Structure 1
């Protein structure tokens, strides 16, 4: 009976003439019809999901022919027991459990006959000096593999045995990246537990050289581990039938630069893809970017505008709108370099190749895939230079990301993510939420803005001064005479542009509150406070425009010139006074809108 059903299932698997009405049914309906005896309905379920079942079995066994057998066995079992499935909408998880159980059963039966490491040295003899075996890594791994096999028979579940086997295979591949001498020293230190001083005596090296070799070997091992992990991740996607090319819809419009604040541009693109219809200025205001100022003392370094905790500030900005975020944070906490002053060769793909693979790359790729599969682009740092960009697509077969940064649209190989000038990685994606009332969004945003102005934002290690105190640092830099012209001009351009969006945001916010009926009759001061705050920011905008002409970007002008410096100090003092006044209005608004 089983053999007959097995043949019938095979016929269903390879049928190419499935009636059109079966294709139009959802899984629930097909399961119900199959339970009623309609074999064609089961055939359609098999046609839809067989590749995923095979990918799942292949991911467990790593053996294509064994995976094929497991799928066939699982299909027979599923066909025989379909009537026991109570919840039709649970068909796919149910059949996956059958595949998994079949796979582990087959692995358990074959584990005693299979060697875990056929690529390693021949199996050890039970005779001889075993102490010398432990000085050779291949033999160590082989011994570990045999020990794991013995334990698997006696103690481990098939799933645990498979996991241990895979781990040992990966370890073998990782250690293979070391040169012979590096490998011997690595083995001596990590397996024989010899101190660097003892190793120095054995290899006739200085202790300093041994430390260097151990450090270099450790980095190589970490690099190789990351490379292998990425490869395994891609193979898993292939085995699961998830190898795809995905490009987010309307990415041309999403990647248009609309401000000097690249983080805000990226967040706005993500919000638009999620269905938000607000303006860019509204997004900059609600996420706090229209009101930010970060100044690096003394130099007014170009990295000032991005000298803050990405994870804290960006996720908080999205929380203002009711969104949760997910991120991979591999930031060093150091100030970025000025890419405008670097040798262009350091920004090339060849330069990326010389840098190490980022250890957080596998996590970042997983987050990118999950977000793009939902049609939402991902914010990323330092794709081509130290700024924020947008990842809007991927191609698994070619291992390429489609990205745009500062108007530059290019592809980036998977393994080059996180290998920019700073060798940092930061990727942020939306993780749900939204649909929050505007008044609530505005209240959260005002609280965040005031914390920034008051210097209460979470500290970071960049050394930048934030909020109103940043103006004192900026003025002090002009008096100190050590300002970097290009960086100073960039800071002026970024803050000036942000304040322009602040004016628009305040006007739009007042209109939105009125339209929503959220300006109560007992709060007649609210429209006036918005108007007064917008006026102050508009005044700042005028002063910043004069500064922009004095110190144009990218040339930067002459901030060390005494006349130019005196003029700049005077303008910054006027701007600070206006911003302090505006902050007072925002504080009143925050109280009234609670």
Structure 2
């Protein structure tokens, strides 16, 4: 045994000596020596990064940044025997910096368009401006014989990347960008040189920056796919087409949740998913016109992830919303050409696209489809497969769409929002805890909590809806859609509460069975009232909601529905009080 311990100790010493020699060779400019150090320790370095962040893509990003910094600054390592702890410290600093930025850090404008930059400022390798500034500060410097070969190589590679990106600009844009960043000319000097106004210079620089950001995102996506290829992870994985795509429901987010759960061992009925996720009880309207966006005006992350916790799963998401305050877009009213693939090609790429793709790959590899927003129209759908070689996602919804979607079309739909949600780890949660969570969500919503950019939630929505009818400001298509959503939700609320009363046999539910059945009856009546409104104002045309006679019919029905819903809410509150007593 002592001999084995001695042998292991000697092997460790040999490894340390080998690292010392490789570090010294790398300091002397031996790129292969540094490459061997990376190959030897990359898995351990990645482990360091994962210990700071649970995001695999972010961890990989941190490793890449750390290795670049190590490559540039290896000459500052005084004790060659301390290479691995030194590299660990770089990883830690990079991780803290990245996590402080947050996942949705936005690139800023051209830093005041200053022609001179301080070389001592640290480079932010994720920020286009910072990289351009670094390159501009090095562009005209004379060669320094004492410069590290690694520094020269990395700077050259960065320069090649940026100059390659510059090819996305037209000749005039490129000359002006190069004049500003690489020749250090001010906007005033550029204006004189090109005989244009200074305002035009700012416009061209701003437009060019947007193009460069797009190109940078494309490069990052290509690098992500290339990294999968180098790791031997290039695959085509297509799960069975989710049966949920054939569900007849207006509530597409719950259709998607149901499809995700169907791939797990926690399958449940559609009304049960509607109820426990809280969507059976939601009612959100946009005042004045009752715009079509009302039912989907909620915090996707917060509401859907809380709903999934009630259903027994933690989840992870990637999201970037560009038009969250713009409710002017209605897919039923726009030129159909705006919904096709060509239109998507013209819209900006989300800078979070690589993270979204990583989440999709991870989930599908585990056998779970992924919920996504605005894959075809502004509704929820499911991604259930991918093809790395062709860079295609297999996706569909229950609105008649089922096809492949290019990787770079994700987040480039009509509203230009990126949102994907995947199941993570299962939770240990019993029926009582699930129902308490669902009732808490429902009651908070009924009280108006979680309102989103001027939309009105819960019971308060009724007075705003009636007010819109009285003022004759209803938009027919949006009104019809909101009615259809509400009718579907209340129909499922009734079925959900009946299923609980009849099938949840644990004695803990004895005290709520009567209230659950009473509430079920009330929601069935509410659903019937909404069904009458849907016949009066059918989707998509929407009927004549601003006609005086139809207005009065609608207001009378809403008065009855609101009274019934108030009674139902009181029963839900009694159920919650009983369960938490």
User: TM-score scaled by structure 2?
Assistant: 0.73
Q: Does structure 1 retain, via aligned residues, the 8 Å contact 2:436–2:579?
A: yes
Measure the CA separation in 2 of the matches of 1:590 and 1:518.
12
Matched, 1:502 2:499: no
Unaligned runs of 5+ in 1: 1-65, 75-99, 113-130
Measure the CA separation in 1 of the matches of 2:145 and 2:278.
55
Pairwise CA distance, 1:469: 0.7
Aligned equivalent of 2:147: 150
Aligned equivalent of 2:199: 208
Matches within 5 A, 1:90-129: none
Measure the CA separation in 2 of the matches of 1:417 and 1:330.
11
Please give the per-residue CA displacement for 1:150-199, whole angstroms capped at 9, x wherever unaligned: 3465xx8xxxx987776554333323322232223223444566554443
Q: Does structure 1 retain, via aligned residues, the 8 Å contact 2:286–2:455?
A: yes
Measure the CA separation in 2 of the matches of 1:297 and 1:586.
26
Pairwise CA distance, 1:499: 0.4
Measure the CA separation in 1 of the matches of 2:469 and 2:460.
15
Please give the per-residue CA displacement for 1:114-158, whole angstroms capped at 9, x wherever unaligned: xxxxxxxxxxxxxxxxx9xx99999877679978993465xx8xx
Matched, 1:409 2:437: no
Q: Partner of 2:291: helix, strand, or coil?
A: coil
Measure the CA separation in 1 of the matches of 2:158 and 2:487.
54
Aligned equivalent of 1:7: none
Aligned equivalent of 2:107: none
Measure the CA separation in 2 of the matches of 1:323 and 1:474.
35
Matches within 5 A, 1:153-302: 167-190=158-181, 195-248=186-239, 250-302=240-292
Q: Does structure 2 retain, via aligned residues, the 8 Å contact 1:382–1:420?
A: yes
Change in 2 beyond 3 A, CA 1:573/1:224: same
Q: Partner of 2:381: helix, strand, or coil?
A: strand
Matched, 1:342 2:339: no
Superposed CA RMSD in Å reads 3.4
Change in 2 beyond 3 A, CA 1:564/1:242: same
Aligned equivalent of 1:570: 556
Change in 2 beyond 3 A, CA 1:166/1:263: farther
Change in 2 beyond 3 A, CA 1:280/1:152: farther
Aligned equivalent of 1:324: 314
2:344 to 325, 335, 352: 352
Pairwise CA distance, 1:341: 1.5
Q: Does structure 1 retain, via aligned residues, the 8 Å contact 2:277–2:310?
A: yes
Pairwise CA distance, 1:209: 1.5
Q: Partner of 2:509: helix, strand, or coil?
A: coil
Q: Which stretch of the first structure deviates more once superposed, 271-280 or 372-381?
A: 271-280
Aligned equivalent of 2:438: 445
Q: Does structure 1 retain, via aligned residues, the 8 Å contact 2:187–2:201?
A: yes
1:487 to 456, 478, 485: 478
1:560 to 546, 552, 562: 546
Matched, 1:516 2:516: no
Q: Does structure 2 retain, via aligned residues, the 8 Å contact 1:141–1:168?
A: no
Pairwise CA distance, 1:517: 2.8
Measure the CA separation in 1 of the matches of 2:261 and 2:469.
39
Q: How many residues align?
A: 465
Measure the CA separation in 2 of the matches of 1:145 and 1:284.
67
Pairwise CA distance, 1:550: 0.5
Q: Does structure 2 retain, via aligned residues, the 8 Å contact 1:136–1:187?
A: no
Q: Does structure 1 retain, via aligned residues, the 8 Å contact 2:242–2:259?
A: no
1:390 to 382, 387, 394: 382
Aligned equivalent of 1:428: 421
Change in 2 beyond 3 A, CA 1:326/1:190: farther
Measure the CA separation in 2 of the matches of 1:290 and 1:166.
55
Please give the per-residue CA displacement for 1:44-72, whole angstroms capped at 9, x wherever unaligned: xxxxxxxxxxxxxxxxxxxxxx99x979x
Matches within 5 A, 1:22-101: none
Change in 2 beyond 3 A, CA 1:434/1:272: farther
Q: Partner of 2:210: helix, strand, or coil?
A: helix
User: TM-score scaled by structure 1?
Assistant: 0.72
Measure the CA separation in 1 of the matches of 2:142 and 2:424.
40
Q: Which stretch of the first structure deviates more once superposed, 261-270 or 207-216?
A: 207-216
Measure the CA separation in 2 of the matches of 1:145 and 1:531.
83
Aligned equivalent of 1:90: none
Pairwise CA distance, 1:579: 0.8
Please give the per-residue CA displacement for 1:245-271, whole angstroms capped at 9, x wherever unaligned: 1112x3241422242100111111111
Q: Partner of 2:425: helix, strand, or coil?
A: strand
Larger radius of gyration: 1
Change in 2 beyond 3 A, CA 1:588/1:162: farther
Q: Does structure 2 retain, via aligned residues, the 8 Å contact 1:294–1:467?
A: yes
